[in-house]
A and B are shown apart, each in its own frame.
Chain A
Amino acid sequence: MADFEPTIIGFLCNWCAYAGGDLAGVSRLKYPPNMRAVRVMCSGMVHPDLVVDALKEGADGVIVMG
């Protein structure tokens, strides 16, 4: 488990979390490269099916940020 690198699907709200992701870049912060971001217009847009599908298709985790 020591070198386990999870694959994470992130659903990022365009107005807050995605903007935060951009700002992290502008501020040159560092975070691990394990998440793949899907931009959504609101975290309320994320249908439960999308989360289930992501897990079924092999994601180790799903994060909905909004």
Chain B
Amino acid sequence: MNIELHTLAEVQNVSGEEGNFTVTVKKAPRYVDMEKCIACGECAAKCPKKVDDEYQAGLSKRKAAYIPYGQSVPLKYALDGENCIMIQKGKCGACEQICPTQAIKFDDKEEILDVNVGSVILTPGFKAFDPVDLDYTYYKKTPDVVTSLEYERLLSASGPCAGHLVRPSDGKEPRKIAWLQCVGSRDINRCGNGFCSSVCCMYAIKQSVITAEHTTGDIDQTILYMDIRSHGKEFDKYYESAKKGGINFVQARPHTILPGPDGNGAIIQYADKSGNMVEEVYDLVVLSIGLQAPKDAQQLSQTVGFELNKYGFVEATSFEPVSTTKAGVFSSGAFNAPMDIPQAVTDASSAAANAAVMLAESRGSMTQDKVWPEERDIAGEEARIGVFVCSCGTNIAGTVDVKAVSEYASSLPGVTLVENNLFTCSTDTQDLIAAKIKENNLNRIVVAACTPRTHEPLFKETLKEAGLNEYLVEMANIRNQNSWVHQDNPEKATEKAKDQVRMAVAKAALLQPLSKMSVDVTQKAMVVGGGMSGMTSALGIADMGYDVVLLEKSDMLGGNAWALSKTWRGEEIKPEVEKLVAKVENHDKITILKKAMLKTAVGSVGNFVSEVDVDGETKAVKYGVAVVATGGKEYKPNEYAYGESDRVKTHLEFDKMLDSGATSSADSVVFIQCVGSRNEERPYCSRVCCTHTVESAIRLKEQKPEMSVFVLNRDIRTYGLREDLYTKARQLGVIFVKYTLDAKPQVSASGDSVSVKVADPMLGGRELDIKADYLVLATAIVPNETKELVELYKCATGDDGFLTEAHPKLRPVDLSVDGLFVAGLCHYPKPLDEAIGQAQAATSRAGVILARTELPLDSIKSEVTELCDGCALCVDTCPYNAISLESYEDKGKEHRRIVTDKALCKGCGVCMATCPKGGVEVNGFTMDQLKAQVTSALAGL
């Protein structure tokens, strides 16, 4: 209701300034009335014009009347004006004739509108690299060389071959597939894209794993790569399991692809690690194409007035990672740099936080709330059930005999009225349902149509509109789980539909109105951890106008950032830490508690209470949300002679020497990567160490060009635009040597030097013996101890000790407990810009709750009945810790029973299934209601 969506829109002009922009938007005609379209798809079915389907990467056809894909938002059809025969030639009009709601508007016109806004967020995404100009790939010249996007469609269940993988040339299932990494990325020779696209290694691994699942029998899959960059959370484990699963990983940069024998498949030629020429024939070759800036980036930057970097992505700083160079204009996602979904979703919340902070003063001034009519009390009424059977155009009626189902429904007990509608979800049918409820005094509604997962919210609103409690509706899913899957058996489908309606009616008769639930919100936040992430979140929340209590375990704010020198972009870090500390310390909304430890935590979203130990004194804090930013630290190794010689340093130790210039006396420095990372004990990539090493190596070479600098690595993971640093380091003469876990470098230290021995695969495995003045160990990042905190909040960590988010992609900064958010190193190792971005995202997510005085809850919750005798069997089984035990007195005797916390309960009903005596039920899914459905389902026997 508070999001106005403009589709087919293009920004023509942006004028004004931060807080008051006027955005001129050009909207291309849709030729379909969005208000009337019910997305039945009849127009597309009738449309005679076929064009290449962009969503299917041109591998199949769509119609000129179309939706881009099934999950389109808004789910409304459009006519493609350039291809529609009626619009182009004035003949046809088939869609207009078939449309049941008269939604087609051939005379639709382009529209120009001015939108007045306080801030602008840019999310135009990326453009996939087109390899057509890379002649060596033979792309488009031979059919079995496809891009990874095309392959994604070939593999997809919703793709042109319905998930049954076949190759384009002859329609056969491929048995031998190769992926070529870095096509259009890390390539300044052929395409000028010097950056790493960050996501291609993981998507190639994912595609190969899914391919193995989708095909039968043995399949030979090879990924040809330069460095495998699986630097995201849990990614390295996925890479390792793919290796174990039989996917071949070959380090090579093929120079030639040729068409295969008889034009089928393709031949790849490359030099292997030892320099030998290899030629292999593959059934199918996938080009792992990179992510470039969107094609209209330049135009957008000129229209809006912000700067782009040399690759066309948004120019930003590490301390304001989603702010463009124009005040009040923010950007997120792949427009900032190539990034994966978790990062992009985090980025989006971060941009939202920046806009929210900026617009804090006017928050709530333009938002709207829906007002519903008063609810009718149905207590004591007999069930008067209205059944609405949907034809869904021909989607249901084409298979199920809806007339017979309707007639059958009228014979069921409690049913007062039955209607058959062409489209039960259309706006006019909603009005009809509301009218029928009032006319016939209906008190329960059954809708036999599609799935409640998408449409129940709509019918709930209709009930509310008609003055009925929204929980008095039950759906029978006679489309998704009937007509669509039983098209070949209309008779059985109709029989099943009758059973489904009977089951729904049986449950509906037992439905009870459920009262609205909500919890009051304490509009105050607690932030645990006073490093850069914690301070950024605290400041953002305070700038939105809410009180914040910031807990820091030491006596100083700033955390790890004090030990860091420069960001990968080259910005000085310490001055920024000082600025942030000053802002936080001087903010009148922020209370800082130093030497503070969280001791207790009770309550749930909106209402937490904690006792905090502040330097020996206990303080109570009430808060509605908390951001956990407890940080991490540099791992101190017990290998490679660390601790035996002062010539062996960790990164942070060596940084101090670099800053002081003490390193310039050295003639030779060796770095070893993945110390304590990507091993059995810590099977994750620490994400920041490769970039850190490359930066340090560049600084050494700049201090003293003749110094020998070696980097012993397993893969160099300078993802995104950090790749430029890797390129620069190599240009400066830094030598990169690969090693493997089973042939780790051997180190011995004596006096003022260190000897490092390693076999170099580029030299055919010959051993290098390097005498170095310093050995720098790129050690892992480990999370700070969170055991107590995790136990207090009942949230979770993964095997590696990092806090687990509610959903890695969709809710990357929410913890599994509602009202708790996470930022920084306690979530996963990350560089400063990403930590700040994530902290801003946590600000935004916290703001969603803090902006309300009360929080509505779903009413599908467990409820204790009078049969509960306090046996407490359910207390331990509840996965959300929502159940506790209480004592009460009745007639002078002490009894026990359980109480449930409505804010913690998710309505899963494990308690109900555990209880041997009906002492706890889930509203809307009670034992009686489920039992009625079972009995009714079997009544036809």
Contacts and interface: CB of A to CB of B under 8 A. Distances in A.
A65 to B, nearest CB: 12
16 contacts: A7-B938, A7-B941, A22-B481, A24-B484, A24-B485, A25-B479, A25-B480, A26-B480, A27-B157, A33-B482, A36-B500, A38-B503, A45-B922, A47-B913, A47-B930, A59-B937
Interface in A10-51: 14, 18-19, 21-22, 24-31, 33, 36-42, 44-50
B453 to A, nearest CB: 6
Q: Which 4 A-B pairs have the closest CB atoms?
A: A45-B909, A25-B480, A42-B908, A25-B484
Contacts of A14: 453
B453 A38 contact: no
B862 to A, nearest CB: 10
A46 B930 CA distance: 9
A50 B931 CA distance: 6
B566 interface: no
Interface of B: 70, 157-158, 162, 451-454, 477, 479-482, 484-489, 492-493, 495-496, 499-500, 503, 860, 879, 906-910, 912-913, 915, 922, 925, 927, 930-931, 933-935, 937-938, 941
Given A14-B453, A36-B499, A57-B935, A41 B907 contact: yes
Given A27-B162, A28-B485, A58-B941, 8 more contacts: A22-B454, A25-B479, A25-B485, A33-B482, A33-B486, A38-B933, A45-B908, A53-B935
Contacts of B934: 9, 38, 50, 53-54, 57, 59
Contacts of B925: 40-41, 45
B940 to A, nearest CB: 8
Nearest to B157: A27
B938 A44 contact: no
A21 B938 CA distance: 21
B663 to A, nearest CB: 56
A28 B399 CA distance: 13
A53 B484 CA distance: 30
A9 to B, nearest CB: 6
Contacts of B935: 53, 57
Contact of B480 (A21, A38, A41, A45): A21
B909 A25 contact: no
Contacts of A26: 70, 158, 480, 484
A30 B933 contact: no
A40 B934 CA distance: 12
B908 A44 contact: yes
B480 A44 contact: no
Contacts of A24: 480-481, 484-485
B860 A41 contact: yes
A50 B928 CA distance: 10
B392 to A, nearest CB: 11
A36 B909 contact: no
Given A21-B481, A24-B485, A29-B485, A40 B909 contact: yes
A66 to B, nearest CB: 10
Contacts of B937: 7, 9, 36, 38, 59
Contacts of A57: 934-935, 938
A29 B480 CA distance: 10
A21 B492 CA distance: 18
A26 B157 CA distance: 10
- Of B162, B482, B493, B912, chain A has the most CB atoms within 10 Å of the CB of B912
Contacts of B927: 47, 49-50
A50 B480 contact: no
A37 B477 contact: yes
Contact of A22 (B477, B500, B912, B913): B477
Nearest to A38: B933
A58 B70 CA distance: 39
Given A30-B485, A53-B931, A22 B453 contact: yes
A18 B860 CA distance: 17
A27 B913 contact: no
Contact of A44 (B451, B495, B910, B931): B910
A8 to B, nearest CB: 10
B508 to A, nearest CB: 13
A29 to B, nearest CB: 6
A57 B935 CA distance: 7
- Of B157, B453, B908, chain A has the most CB atoms within 10 Å of the CB of B908
A18 B162 contact: no
B492 A33 contact: yes
Contact of B452 (A9, A39, A50): A39
Nearest to A28: B484
Contacts of A48: 913
Contact of B922 (A7, A39, A41): A41
A24 B481 CA distance: 8
- Of B482, B906, B927, B933, chain A has the most CB atoms within 10 Å of the CB of B933
- Of B162, B477, B935, B938, chain A has the most CB atoms within 10 Å of the CB of B938
Contacts of B70: 26
A14 B481 CA distance: 13
